[in-house]
Structure 1
Amino acid sequence: MTDELDLLRGANPVSADTGPWRDRPLDARAEQLLRRLPSRDRRRRTVRRTAWSVATAAAATVVALALTVSDSGSSPAVAAPRPLVAHVSRTDVPLAEIVRRARAAAGSSTEKSERGSHVQTWALAMESGKDAVTLPVESLTRWNADGSGSLLEVATDPRHPGRPVIADGTPPHAVHDGEVLRKATYPPGIHGANEDYFEDPPAGAAALREYLAVWSPGADRDATELISAVESFLTVWTPGPRQRADIVTLLSRIEGLRPAGKVTDRVGREGQAFQYTHSGSRHLIVLDPDDGRVLDVEETATRDDPEYWVKAGDVLSYRAWMS
C-alpha cells in the first residue's frame, strides 16, 4: 500500500490550493496525472518484458510447445531470433536527409494519423535461472470515430518467421499458419481497450515529446525512455506524415544515435538502420529512408547476464510495424 500512496502523493491530482473539490470532477490535468500512475508503476520493473499480457504469453508458449512436439522430425520450432545485420554502404541515407524527406512528405499531405496498428512483436521471456523464449505475436487493432473497434492477436508459426499471419479487412482475419490468441470487439465509447494515448497526437516535435511523456514519464529527458515511448505509441497509433516527421525529428535529436547501415528486416523490407547503446543493451531503429516511417525497433544485449541466461548479442525484443 505504501507504494500506491507514494504514487498518489507524487501525482497530486488535486492540490491543496485548487479550492473545494469533494463533489467536483477532476480537470484534464488531474485526469492525465492519474493516467500516468500505472505506467509509472510499470517502469519500476528491473527487467524489460513483452508488451502483451501474461495470459497471451502463456498461450503463445503452449502453441510453441505444440509446434515443437508436432515437428519432432526437424529442428526445434522455437528459437530466439538472430539479430538484424546492417551493412554500411556508399548509398546510405543520413538521418538528417531522412528528416528532410519526412518533413517534405508531411508538407504536401493531408493524411492524418489513424488510431490502431498492425505490428509483429517478440520478446525474450526472461526468468531467473531459466532459458525461455516466446513466439512472435502479430496483432491488428482498428478503431472507429465512435470509439468502437476490434483486436486480433495471432501467434505466428516460428517455422515461417516474419511471414504475416493477419490479413487486414472487414473484419481482419488470420491467414497462413497461426494460432489465434485473442479476438475482441469493442462497442462505441471511449476507446476502452486503450489505456494510453487516448487523445489525438499533437503537431510539432516538441509538443509530441510532451504528449509521449504524459504516459511515459522520462520520455521528455531520457533517450531510452523516448525510444520506449515511441514504440508504445506506435502500438496504439499509425502515424500520418506529420507525426512521422515529428517522430523522426525527435529520434534525430538523440545524442549517441549512430548510423548502422542498410538492413533487410524480418518482413523483407529494406530500411536504413540507426543504433543507440545504453546500459547493457542496444536499440536498432530501422527507418524507411523515403518518408521516415519507423519499420522496426530491435533491442539486443551488449553484455552477458548469467542470472537470466542472456549473452551479449542476444535479441531481447523486437517490433516490426506492418502498416
Structure 2
Amino acid sequence: MTDELDLLREADPVSADTGPWRDRPLDARAELLLRRLPSRDQGRRTVRRAVWSLEAVAAATILALALTVSGTGSSPAVAAPRPLVAHASRADVPLAQILRRARAAAEDSSERSRRGSHLRTWSLSMESGKDAVTLPQESLSRWNADGSGSLLEVAVDPRHPDRPVIADGTPPRAVHDGKVLRDEKYPAGINGANESYFEDPPAGAPELRAYLAVWSPGADRDPAELISAIESFLAVWTPGPRQRADIVTLLSRIEGLRPAGKVIDRLGREGQAFRFTPASAGMRKLIVLDPDDGSVLDVEETVTRDDPEYRLKAGDVMSYKAWVS
C-alpha cells in the first residue's frame, strides 16, 4: 500500500488547490497521470487504470448500448474522432476583434443567461494495452429559478456525429437517431444534479472569474483551471451576451492562448480556433469561438506526446465538448 500511495503523491493528479474534487470528475490531465502510474513501477504488472471519471463510466455504459443505437443488425462505429483541423489565413478573425463584437452584442441586448445547456460530449475510455473508444453523448438540461429542472442524455449514433439528436423545445422533447440513457426530472432545490453554479453569474470579467473560482479553486490564478472552469460553467449555463463577452474577455487575458485559424467544428459550424498548451500537462486545448458573438462552440483536448502503453499518439483526441446552443 505504501508504494501505491507514494506513486499517487508523486503524480499529484489532484493537488490541494485543485478544487472540490469530491463533487466533480477528474479532468483529462489528472486521469492521464493516474493511467501512467502502473508503467512507472516496472516491477508491477500492468493493471487497469485506477480511477475513471464519472464521464468515462457513463461513456462505458454508452459503449455497451452501442448495438441498440444503430439497430440489432448493424455494428457500431468504433473509431475515435479525428482532431479538428484549423487553417490559418489572412481572413482569420483576431481574438481582439471577436471581443469587440461580443461587447457590442452585449450592449445591444437585454437577454440574460439561462440555466441549462445543450451539448455534445465525447471522451476516450481505455484499458492498458487495449483499444477502446466510446460513443458520443448529447445532453440537454433546463433549470428553473427555484432549482427544479430536467436532464435528458442520449447516446448518439456515431455514423451521424455532426447532427444534433435532441430537438429542444417544450417537453416532451423529441429524440432522433439515438438511445435515451437518462430522462430525469428534479424538484425544487440545489441538492440534485444541479449542485454547482446555482447562483446567477455576475456581470464583469473580474467578477465572473471570482465566481468561477468559488467552484473551481485555482481558476483565479491558473489559466488551465480557468479554461476547465469555463467548460464546467457552460455545462450548467447558457450564457447571455453579457456573460459571453465576459468569457471572451477572460480568454483574451490568458497568456499562451494562440490563434490557430478557421475550423469547421463538430456540428458543422465555422468558427475561429485558439490553442492553449499548459506547461508539462501533456495535453493541448483547442477552443473554438463563434467569430460573430464570441460564443464558445467547442473545446477539444488532445495529447501532445505518444503513450505506447495506452496506444496513444501525439495529436489523438482525448475528449471534446460541442455546445449545440
Aligned-residue CA RMSD (Å): 2.4
Change (3 A) 1:41 1:60: closer
Query: Counterpart in 1 of 2:143?
Result: 143
Q: How big is the shift at 1:64?
A: 2.3
Q: CA deviation digits over 1:112-135, x for unaligned, max 9?
A: 100000000000113333321111
Distance 2:99 2:123 in 1: 29
Cα distance, 1:233–1:297 mapped onto 2, change above 3 Å: same
Cα pair 2:154 2:179 within 8 Å, conserved: yes
- What are the superposed Cα offsets for residues 231-251 of structure 1, whole Å, 9 maximum, x if unpaired? 110000000011000101101
In structure 2, distance between residues paired with 1:222 and 1:51? 24
Specify the code of the residue in structure 2 equivalent to 1:258. R
2:93 corresponds to: 93
Kindly tell me: are residues 129 and 195 of structure 1, through their superposed partners in 2, closer, same or farther at Cα, counting changes over 3 Å? farther
Letter in 2 for 1:186: Y
Distance in 2, matches of 1:93 and 1:41, equals 34
CA distance in 1, matches of 2:206, 2:309: 39
Please tell me whether the aligned partners of residues 39 and 215 of structure 1 are also in contact (alpha carbons under 8 angstroms): no
CA drift of 1:301 comes to: 1.0
Q: Distance in 2 between matches of 1:93 and 1:294?
A: 15
Of 279, 285, 288, the match for 1:286: 288
The residue aligned with 2:41 is none
Between the aligned partners of 1:84 and 1:41, the Cα distance in structure 2 is: 24
- Stretches of structure 1 that go unaligned for 5 or more consecutive residues are 4-9, 12-34
Which residue identity is paired with 2:249? T
1:113 is matched with 113
Q: Out of 39-48 and 182-191, give the one that drifted further.
A: 39-48
> 1:283 & 1:84 partners in 2: Cα distance?
11
* Alignment size in residue pairs: 288
| Matched residue, 2:38 | none
Please give the residue correspondences for 1:26-37 in structure 2 after superposition, counting only pairs within 5 Å. Answer: 36=20
Checking the alignment, whether the CA contact within 8 Å between 1:68 and 1:77 is kept in structure 2 is no
Counterpart for residue 230 of structure 2? 230
SS of the residue corresponding to residue 111 of structure 2 reads coil
Give the structure 2 partner of residue 178 of structure 1: 178
Q: How does 1:73-222 map to 2 (within 5 A)?
A: 77-190=77-190, 192-222=192-222
In the superposition, relative to structure 1, how do residues 240 and 43 fare at CA in structure 2: closer, same or farther (>3 Å)? same
Task: Describe the shift of the 1:37–1:270 C-alpha distance in structure 2 as closer, same or farther (beyond 3 A).
Answer: closer
The answer to whether the Cα contact below 8 Å between 2:25 and 2:53 also exists between their aligned partners in 1 is no
> Structure 1 CA distance, aligned partners of 2:263 and 2:189?
41
User: Deviation at 1:179?
Assistant: 0.3
Q: Deviations over 1:19-41 (max 9, x none)?
A: xxxxxxxxxxxxxxxx9362589
Cα pair distance change 1:45/1:253, threshold 3 Å: closer
The CA distance in 1 between the partners of 2:67 and 2:263, in whole Å, is 31
Distance 1:256 1:152 in 2: 36
How far apart in 2 are the matches of 1:167 and 1:301?
A: 33
Distance 1:39-1:215 versus aligned 2 partners, 3 A rule: farther
Aligned match of 2:22: 38
Q: Aligned AA for 1:70?
A: G
Aligned to 1:246: 246
Q: Tell me the amino acid that sits aligned with residue 224 of structure 2.
A: T
Higher mean displacement: 232-241 or 126-135: 126-135
Q: CA deviation at 1:174?
A: 4.0
1:42 to partner: Cα distance: 4.4
Corresponding residue for 1:257?
A: 257
User: Does the 8 Å contact 1:156/1:179 carry over to 2?
Assistant: yes
Where do 5+ consecutive residues of structure 2 fail to align? 6-15, 33-51
Q: Secondary structure of the residue that 2:302 maps to in structure 1?
A: strand
Q: Which amino acid counterpart does residue 22 of structure 2 have in structure 1?
A: P
Instruction: Report the 3-state secondary structure (helix = DSSP H, G, I; strand = E; otherwise coil) of the residue aligned with 1:164.
Output: coil
Distance 1:239 1:181, change over 3 A: same
Shift of 1:307: 2.7
Q: CA deviation at 1:148?
A: 1.7
CA contact (8 A) 2:277 2:283 kept: yes
Is 142-151 or 279-288 further displaced after alignment?
Answer: 142-151
TM superposition score normalised by structure 2: 0.82
State the percentage of identical aligned residues.
Answer: 73
Change (3 A) 1:106 1:253: same
Q: Distance in 2 between matches of 1:37 and 1:282?
A: 22
- Contact preservation (8 Å) 1:50, 1:317: no
Indicate if the aligned counterparts of 1:88 and 1:260 stay in contact, CA closer than 8 A: yes
Q: Which amino acid aligns with 1:298?
A: E
1:214 offset after TM fit, Å?
1.2
Residue 65 (structure 1) shift: 4.8
- Equivalent residue for 1:47? 31
